[in-house]
Amino acid sequence: MEVRIAHLYPNLLNIYADRGNITALRQRCIWRHIDVSIHEFTLGEEPDWDAYDLFYISGGQDREQNLVCSDLSLKSSGLKDAVEGDAVLLSICGGYQLLGDYYRAADGNTIEGIGLFRARTIAGSKRLIGNVVIESLLDGGRLSLAGFENHAGRTYLDHGQEPLGRVVTGYGNNSEDGGEGIVYRNAIGTYMHGPLLPKNTAFADYLLRKALEHHHGEPVELESLDDSVEAHALAVALKLKK
């Protein structure tokens, strides 16, 4: 089996070692003898959108978001078409915000998003910082995920849009409505840094399976791995306080 990953703006959007999510995906493929290729694309570089099964865009501060936003608007139709074709997309924090309609920063400046997610983000005065635990119904099951959040932006989903999960610990999208992140087809936005995937292996494998199914056009079942160390890390993270 084979999976192809495109990492967007790795030089600009990569805080809290979010690159670790790519490392986790790669390693889980290697352990299973799945061919994995990872290519990086930054400003001015256009991927061949049909050539990838999973896109990754991570977080960054307002400055980096400003640098990325006009370039991302040029990539908007390619990325949206890929998502409509059931490619997988994982976006974290600042990347998640840029995929919504807009992000209004604390200084009043509005950074336009590409509207892939029907959501908007408005900065508040107090940053929402701390450990976060959510319960997600992704993949038809109750999935407890743990991460770390640090954002000024409050994200509000349009009516009818589905969050990634319900907040158990932490603030989530906006600290008001109990939602965290967003899911649209196989595209996911979340505020969870961490990096997220090394310890949330069920979530990593969910993304990997969807990406493999996108590549091969048929249902895929993943070989299980010895995740005892990762499960221990998750168990500890699930108990952390905000």
Give catalytic residues, as residue numbers: 93, 193
Nearer to ligand GLN, 3 or 57 (CB): 57
Q: Does the footprint of ligand GLN cover residue 120 (CB under 6 A)?
A: no
Among 153, 179, 189, 198, binds ligand GLN (CB under 6 A): 153
- Here the tokens at position 23 are 């490392």
Q: Does the footprint of ligand GLN cover residue 170 (CB under 6 A)?
A: no
Say how many residues touch ligand GLN, by CB under 6 A: 13
- Residue in the shown chain whose Cβ atom is closest to ligand GLN: 59
Among 42, 61, 73, 144, binds ligand GLN (CB under 6 A): 61
Among 5, 36, 132, 152, binds ligand GLN (CB under 6 A): 152
Q: Does the footprint of ligand GLN cover residue 172 (CB under 6 A)?
A: no
DSSP 51: G
Give the C-alpha separation, 85 to 67, whole Å. Answer: 28
Q: Provide the H-helix boundaries in the chain.
A: 20-31, 62-84, 94-99, 201-216, 228-239
Q: Does the footprint of ligand GLN cover residue 59 (CB under 6 A)?
A: yes
How far apart are CB 130 and ligand GLN at their closest, in Å?
Answer: 13
- If we measure between CA atoms, which residue out of 23, 60, 241 comes closest to residue 150? 60
Q: Does the footprint of ligand GLN cover residue 195 (CB under 6 A)?
A: no
DSSP H or E stretch at residue 142: none
Asked if 14 and 225 count as a contact pair (C-beta separation under 8 A), the reply is no
DSSP 27: H
Nearer to ligand GLN, 29 or 195 (CB): 195
DSSP 218: S
> Phi/psi of residue 57, each to 5°?
-140, 125
* Sites of contact with ligand GLN (CB under 6 A): 15, 59-62, 65, 93-94, 97, 150-153
